[in-house]
Amino acid sequence: MGAKRIIYMDHSATTYVRKEAVEAMTPYHAEHFGNPSSIYSIARESKMVIDTAREQAAKALGAEPDEIYFTSGGSESDNWAIKGVAFVNRKKGNHIITSKIEHHAVLHTCEYLEKEGFTVTYLPVDQYGLVDPAELEKAITDKTVLISIMYANNEIGTIEPIAELGAIARRHKIPFHTDAVQAVGNIPIDVNAQNIDLLSLSAHKFYGPKGVGALYIRKGTKIDNLIHGGGQERRRRAGTENIAGIVGLGIAIELATADIEGHNLKIRALRDRLMSGILAKIPNSRLNGHPEKRLPGNINISFEFIEGESMLLWLDDEGICASTGSACTSGSLEPSHVLLATGLPVEISHGSLRLTLGDINTDADVDFVLEVLPKVVSRLREMSPLYQKSGKEGGCNVQ
């Protein structure tokens, strides 16, 4: 096999695990394997490192360690926050407010709750993907028991006015949850200053391991358990802890939040050169998301007369890893709910490309994509009529 050069520009889907995290995790696979619930001394080591990771996660959010609960990732944290707060307040009210552009871990959870008798308001967004605080305020009723708005969108990178939305929730004494899976490591977070009561995060989006995350729960917030069983996580989340994963999360969140501005400066510079280069070189292309209020590594551009999946396959041939807003769920081409919510026409939504840069990307990567992408787009356009189906199914959801 020839060593093909891989250019990874899909950091919003997942990141590699940084070496400091791998090194810190290694002893907890085979050497220190004690169950933290056990009494003997080798188990105490496991318990201690969980406490350290809890402190690291708390510090990154401006929270207290006993407000951090480890989970299996962003999806579980979202499910727990939403179902847990909804069910515990069932007698008080049955109304939930969220937005149209949430991750499926939030949207599908809300759809499930609709079947369980809850009513959900899905707030619209403007052309840039922003939720309007005035719309949130208008949607609140005396039956509203939860507001859940994502911190930053995983597809178009738009950063929501979280502190302002949280202040409205607080004024109405409604618990405020935010899916901050894309925000951690990219935006400084302070749960107190930003009026956040519950916050979901996931290690594999900030150079930590997959299958581990956390839910921040402000002290005093009423919430039902999601996972029932043993007494782990102070009796709120059962299951023997993923010690190695939790250790990796702790190191990764500490390092990812140590110098957010420095990290952003570097990635934003690469991103801006790539983004303006693509828009300049490729006619009939347009930027999705907000020009400024966006994640530092995010590019989302639509190309007219292009079908996103074919574009991804051609880019993959060149070693470029990217995503599209055209998700082939169950074989049928469904355009991204996020792009549609911004008012983008269906045909153009199908031709969108998401490139998300991270700390492994270089100027040479940017040059290479700027050389290859215009050729791919023009070749595909020559092959139009539109929607040439690739014949491939599955595996192309935008995470």
Ligand X SMILES: *Cc1c(COP(=O)(O)O)cnc(C)c1O
Q: Contact at 8 Å (CB) between 316 and 388?
A: no
The reply on whether position 75 binds ligand X by CB under 6 A is yes
Beta bridge partners of 135: none
- Name which of 205 and 218 has its Cβ closer to ligand X: 205
Nearest by Cα to 36 from 248, 247, 250, 249 = 247
Q: How far is the CB of 318 from ligand X (least distance, A)?
A: 25
The pair of structure tokens assigned to 218 is 């402000």
Q: How far is the CB of 399 from ligand X (least distance, A)?
A: 5
Q: How far is the CB of 388 from ligand X (least distance, A)?
A: 29
- Name which of 186 and 302 has its Cβ closer to ligand X: 186
Residue 328 falls in the annotated catalytic set = yes
CA distance 142 to 172: 9
Strands 298-303 and 352-356: antiparallel
Q: Contact at 8 Å (CB) between 299 and 314?
A: no
- Name which of 105 and 311 has its Cβ closer to ligand X: 105
The reply on whether position 179 binds ligand X by CB under 6 A is yes
Region from 42-50, 70-78, 378-386, 389-397 binding ligand X, contact rule CB under 6 A: 70-78
Helix axes 104-115 and 74-88, enclosed angle (nearest 10):
30
* Interacting residue with ligand X among 24, 81, 97, 105 (CB under 6 A): 105
DSSP H helices, 172-242, are 232-235
* Interacting residue with ligand X among 194, 202, 232, 288 (CB under 6 A): 202
The reply on whether position 86 binds ligand X by CB under 6 A is no
The reply on whether position 158 binds ligand X by CB under 6 A is no
Strands 323-324 and 198-202: unpaired
Query: In this chain, which residue has its C-beta nearest to ligand X?
Result: 74
- Which amino acid appears at position 346 of this protein? V
Give CA angle at 68 (62, 69), nearest 5°. 160
The reply on whether position 73 binds ligand X by CB under 6 A is yes
Q: Which residues bind ligand X (CB under 6 A)?
A: 73-75, 78, 103, 105, 150, 154, 179, 181-182, 202, 204-205, 213, 399
Catalytic positions:
328
